[in-house]
Amino acid sequence: MGGYIIVIHFVWEDFLKIAREELGSRVVETWFKAVSMSRWDGIEKVIYLQTPNAFICNWLEKNYRSFFQTHLGRLLNVADPKVQFLTTSSKKEEVIVKEISEKSSEKNSKAPQVKTYRAAQVIPYGSKNVTHTKVFERYGYINKKYVFETFVVGPSNSLAYAAACAVAQKPGELYNPLFIYGGSGLGKTHLLHAIGNAIQEKNQKAIVLYQTADRFVNEFINAIRFDKIDRFQKKYQLVDVLLIDDIQFISNKDTTQEAFFHIFNSLYDARKQIVFSSDTFPQNINGIAERLRSRLASGMIADIHQPCIEVKMAILKRKAESSGEILSDEVAHFLATHVTSNIRELEGALIRVIAFAHLTKEPIDLSLVKKVFSHEEQLVKDSVDFRSVIKAISKHFPYSLDELRSENRNKELVLARQITMYMMKKKTNSSLREIGAYLGDRNHTTVKHALEKIEHYINEDAALQRHINAIEKEFEH
Ligand code: ADP
Ligand code: MG
């Protein structure tokens, strides 16, 4: 049973990753993040998806049903599964949603349509002229939407912003490489594209390549598989500016690192600008060769922190304005204090509020925002928090929270720590990163590794399985 749930977790996480690639992270944060996969009925082939309220349920149903079917089906290895959206909403709300769906089916203009969205959001680099069209096929994309002008600067990101501007002004001359690090959703990708756009604007001929590290890894593996290594290397050697997003994904991929190391060196020697982003400081990226690590850290390193309330409010107002809406201070303040995790989620919340206002034709005021949030908070409350997990664990293991958080590698303690991570993933709505951060600032890959371990143990070891079932009983009341 436990193993089964963990499998669902991984399927769901893989699904979100694909959705991010296919539909963009905005769609994922806005519509999919509040959803969870609650059950998979392998006999009837039904996927049950829990949604926080009838409004989101209805929206997903209308716009993304076939996307869920195709990709979850593929991940679960079945053709044409059924998708059942569940909601815990009240009857009253369902009436509103019915009205909404009638209205919106007449004029479905606000619905993000799967096919057109991608084309509108991702604009190929230099798509206007012929040679650049070729380049577009071979190189990654620069998203024209992410520019310096729309980036709100505050104390949390001013260093990274200034460094990015300097690099865009004088590529290859000032800070090379530039390494930007910070938590998820705080603007790293935005800055990378902004650098690309600014350089491109000044010099149409410059070849700017944006690539995420995991796509780089895939590309490299395919190049080996299809014997296209020469082409692969040539492609990277031709670029003037290389923007590599989420470089931490290169960890533990030794051969890819080797290839990347050579590409890096030849670009660096030719004084081409290289920019990296990462979720951690170079020294803290696990599983990369020392010489690559020191290359990454050899230029300028700039971090981005969590923004303060004022910056969050400014971002919200700016984003609302670009959708033709004005936010009052009151509403912006409410959103900025209620959404605490990151800017991506802040944007997602704003988009939901705007969509709700459009569909119900109500003005965006505090009462509307509270209405949208009351459903979502209910979902969060339904899940358990970290402290309850620690409490349950402490009844079964003789360790304190400090010990669970410590570096101590005592065998029993390590197992207790891994089980804690497993329970947190299973019982709370938290991400691997949040769990890692809570348990002694550990990396999300450490948490992932722990989940895999426990899942493996559960299948092998009936005693452990019983022990875990007993811990789970603590949550039933
Ligand atoms: P990361 O790559 O760090 O995970 P992103 O660059 O994807 O984060 O940012 C998430 C969203 O938040 C994007 O839509 C981005 O435009 C927006 N964003 C982040 N920081 C800012 C900022 N300072 N001003 C305006 N928008 C921002
Ligand atoms: Mg990013």
What does the block give as tokens for 91?
A: 């009857």
pTM above 0.75, yes or no: no
Q: Which of 438, 328, 340, 326 is nearest to 390 (CA)?
A: 438
Residue 80, φ and ψ in degrees, nearest 5 = 50, 55
Confidence of residue 100 (pLDDT cuts 50, 70, 90): very low
pLDDT of residue 454: 92
Query: CB neighbours of 17 closer than 8 A, spacing ≥ 6?
Result: none
Confidence of residue 477 (pLDDT cuts 50, 70, 90): low
Query: CB neighbours of 374 closer than 8 A, spacing ≥ 6?
Result: none
Q: What percent of the chain has pLDDT over 70?
A: 85
42-445-218 Cα angle (round to 5): 75
Whole-angstrom Cα distance, residue 111 to residue 420? 40
Confidence of residue 127 (pLDDT cuts 50, 70, 90): very low
Between the CA of 463 and the centroid of ligand 1 the distance, in Å, is 46
Confidence of residue 140 (pLDDT cuts 50, 70, 90): low
Tokens 């590309």 correspond to 219
Q: What is the pLDDT of residues 405-462, one digit of tens each?
A: 999 999 999 999 999 999 998 888 788 888 998 898 899 999 999 999 998 888 888 8
What does the block give as tokens for 61?
A: 């149903």
Between the CA of 245 and the centroid of ligand 2 the distance, in Å, is 7
pLDDT of residue 133: 34
DSSP string, 341-370: S-HHHHHHHHHHHHHHHHHHT----HHHHH
Handedness of CA 357, 359, 361, 362 (dihedral sign): negative
In contact, 63 and 108? CB cutoff 8 Å: no
Confidence of residue 7 (pLDDT cuts 50, 70, 90): low
pLDDT of residue 40: 81
Q: For the purposes of burial, counting CB atoms within 10 Å of the CB of 76, is it exposed (0-12), middle (13-18) or buried (19 or more)?
A: middle
Q: What is the pLDDT of residues 368-405, one digit of tens each?
A: 998 888 766 555 545 578 888 999 999 899 999 989 99
Q: What is the pLDDT of residues 101-112, one digit of tens each?
A: 444 444 343 333
Domains and CATH numbers, the chain: 2-105 (3.30.300.180), 114-304 (3.40.50.300), 309-380 (1.10.8.60), 386-476 (1.10.1750.10)
Whole-angstrom Cα distance, residue 268 to residue 172? 8
pLDDT of residue 105: 43
Q: Which atom of ligand 1 approaches the CA of 277 most closely? A: 2
Of the bound ligands, which one is closest to the alpha carbon of residue 433?
1
Whole-angstrom Cα distance, residue 125 to residue 47? 38
390-394-396 Cα angle (round to 5): 125
Residue 131 has pLDDT above 80, yes or no: no
Q: Which of 35, 31, 44 is nearest to 8 (CA)?
A: 35
Of residues 231 and 278, more confidently modeled? 278
Of the bound ligands, which one is closest to the alpha carbon of residue 24?
1
The per-residue pLDDT of the chain, averaged, comes to 82
Which protein residues touch ligand 1 with a CB less than 6 Å away? 25, 146, 150-152, 157, 182, 184-190, 315, 343-344, 347
Q: What is the pLDDT of residues 279-292, one digit of tens each?
A: 999 998 989 999 99
Residue 93 has pLDDT above 60, yes or no: no
Whole-angstrom Cα distance, residue 170 to residue 200? 12
Question: What does each C-alpha distance from 239 to 266, 268, 341 come to in angstroms?
Answer: 11, 11, 36
What does the block give as tokens for 370?
A: 């509270």
Between the CA of 343 and the centroid of ligand 1 the distance, in Å, is 6
Confidence of residue 319 (pLDDT cuts 50, 70, 90): very high
In contact, 425 and 457? CB cutoff 8 Å: no
Of residues 326 and 99, more confidently modeled? 326
